[in-house]
């Protein structure tokens, strides 16, 4: 679909007020999105597992304004408390999506949002948060235009979510989502994420992700700044080409179920992401000493037990431990015995591959 197809013509219904609630998950990238062009267009394609337990629940209440005004009118509540410091991000999101959702300035909104994971856990809430809000906006659009299909709904929700935060476009559906144009994925697009539609071995459909919370501190460098540092980065072109080739290889791996090859691609992607940070100008490091301790422990455990466990990282110090469901007991035992000591307050979150966002409350 092209960008223009997301611009509505006319709405058939008129709605005065209502509310809708969506619960949307986080996701963990196996092929990393790092670097972007204007308008949230990714510099390379990416692919992620949708998670199940780490999620944001957002309720959008809307009421038609009595008088027309040329501004976005909204209040934001996070975990029940007004959070004005989150407003600029939402304001920017509304501005970016206004062209595609021209009704936004006709309504006053109240946004109530909360996460299933602790706010300062270092787990980025932008993917689950922006996708939940995008879905709420789409539910209002569906009220105004009930004819839109589920396929269009999901596609546009992903398209809008991308404009809020790139990785959020991969949080609408499950279980594996591809985002970004790639020659081996004929339908793929830089504009939205899509369900991975090729063969996937059973083992990947129930993959586990235990997130070790290594450092809850505020990140020194935000993802947005990090993405921008890929402009003029000496290794940028090679990295973007590598992401294309890793995605191509992962496609074979998903079909074959070869876990050794899976591990090689996934760990290489994680370390390359951080290598890009370390070779940016200015350079920065988001891993902490305990991140490296954990990685080495995982390598030792894998070597000595021949368990197919590996790690990935996002833009932070936390470690995502990935493994097949059948090894759950063994790996959790290993985590409890050998890895929790490296986590802040011994905290970790058990998650696994999930089915995508869920609507909780209907618009009325």
Q: Summarize as ranges the residues that interact with ligand DP6 (CB under 6 A).
A: 29, 32-34, 40, 46, 124, 126, 165-167, 223-224, 227, 273, 314-315
Least CB distance to ligand DP6 at residue 128 (A) = 11
Q: Pick the closer one to ligand DP6 by CB: 13 or 224.
A: 224
* Phi, psi (deg, nearest 5) at residue 73: -115, 110
Q: Pick the closer one to ligand DP6 by CB: 142 or 274.
A: 274
Q: Is the dihedral of CA 262, 263, 268, 273 positive or negative?
A: positive
Least CB distance to ligand DP6 at residue 223 (A) = 4
Q: Pick the closer one to ligand DP6 by CB: 19 or 126.
A: 126
Least CB distance to ligand DP6 at residue 329 (A) = 29
Least CB distance to ligand DP6 at residue 96 (A) = 11
Q: Pick the closer one to ligand DP6 by CB: 125 or 307.
A: 125
Q: Pick the closer one to ligand DP6 by CB: 227 or 233.
A: 227
Least CB distance to ligand DP6 at residue 313 (A) = 8
Give the SS3 label for residue 266: helix
Note if the bond before 240 is cis, omega within 30 degrees: no
What lies within 8 Å, CB to CB, of 16 at 6+ separation is 63, 64
Alpha helices by DSSP H, listed for 174-327, are 202-205, 223-228, 236-256, 259-278, 289-305
Least CB distance to ligand DP6 at residue 230 (A) = 11
Q: Which residue is nearest to ligand DP6 (CB)?
A: 166
Q: How far apart are CA 55 and CA 60, in angstroms?
A: 16
> Which secondary structure element, helix H or strand E, spans residue 154, and what is its range?
helix 150-164
Segments of 11-45 assigned E as strands: 17-31, 36-37, 41-42
Query: From the centroid of its chain, how far is CA 108?
Result: 27
- In SS3 terms, 238-258 reads as HHHHHHHHHHHHHHHHHHHCC
Q: Pick the closer one to ligand DP6 by CB: 35 or 324.
A: 35
């Amino acid at each position: 679909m092209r960008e223009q197809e997301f611009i509505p013509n006319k709405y058939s219904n008129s709605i005065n007020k209502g509310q809708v609630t969506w619960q949307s998950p986080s996701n963990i990238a196996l092929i990393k999105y790092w670097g972007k062009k204007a308008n949230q267009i990714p510099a390379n394609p990416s692919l992620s597992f949708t998670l199940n337990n780490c999620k944001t629940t957002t309720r959008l209440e809307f009421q038609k304004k009595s008088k027309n005004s040329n501004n976005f009118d909204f209040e934001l509540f996070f975990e029940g408390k007004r959070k004005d410091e989150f407003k600029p991000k939402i304001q920017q999101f509304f501005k970016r999506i206004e062209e595609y959702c021209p009704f936004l300035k006709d309504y006053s909104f109240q946004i109530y949002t909360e996460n299933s994971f602790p706010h300062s856990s270092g787990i980025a809430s932008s993917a689950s948060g922006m996708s939940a809000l995008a879905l709420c906006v789409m539910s209002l659009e569906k009220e105004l235009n009930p004819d839109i299909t589920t396929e269009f709904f999901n596609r546009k929700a992903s398209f809008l979510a991308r404009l809020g935060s790139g990785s959020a476009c991969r949080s609408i559906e499950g279980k594996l989502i591809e985002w970004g144009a790639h020659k081996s994925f004929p339908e793929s697009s830089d504009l939205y994420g899509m369900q991975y539609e090729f063969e996937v071995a059973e083992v990947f459909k129930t993959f586990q992700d235990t997130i070790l919370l290594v450092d809850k501190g505020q990140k020194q460098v935000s993802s947005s700044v990090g993405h921008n540092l890929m402009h003029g980065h000496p290794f940028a072109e090679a990295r973007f080409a590598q992401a294309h080739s890793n995605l191509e290889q992962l496609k074979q791996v998903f079909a074959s179920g070869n876990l050794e090859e899976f591990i090689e691609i996934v760990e290489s992607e994680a370390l390359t992401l951080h290598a890009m940070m370390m070779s940016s100008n200015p350079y920065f490091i988001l891993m902490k000493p305990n991140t490296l301790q954990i990685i080495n422990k995982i390598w030792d455990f894998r070597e000595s037990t021949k368990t197919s466990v590996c790690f990935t990282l996002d833009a932070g110090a936390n470690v995502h431990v990935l493994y097949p469901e059948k090894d759950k007991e063994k790996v959790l035992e290993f985590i409890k015995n050998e890895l929790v000591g490296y986590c802040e307050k011994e905290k970790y979150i058990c998650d696994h591959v999930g089915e995508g966002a869920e609507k909780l409350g209907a618009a009325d």
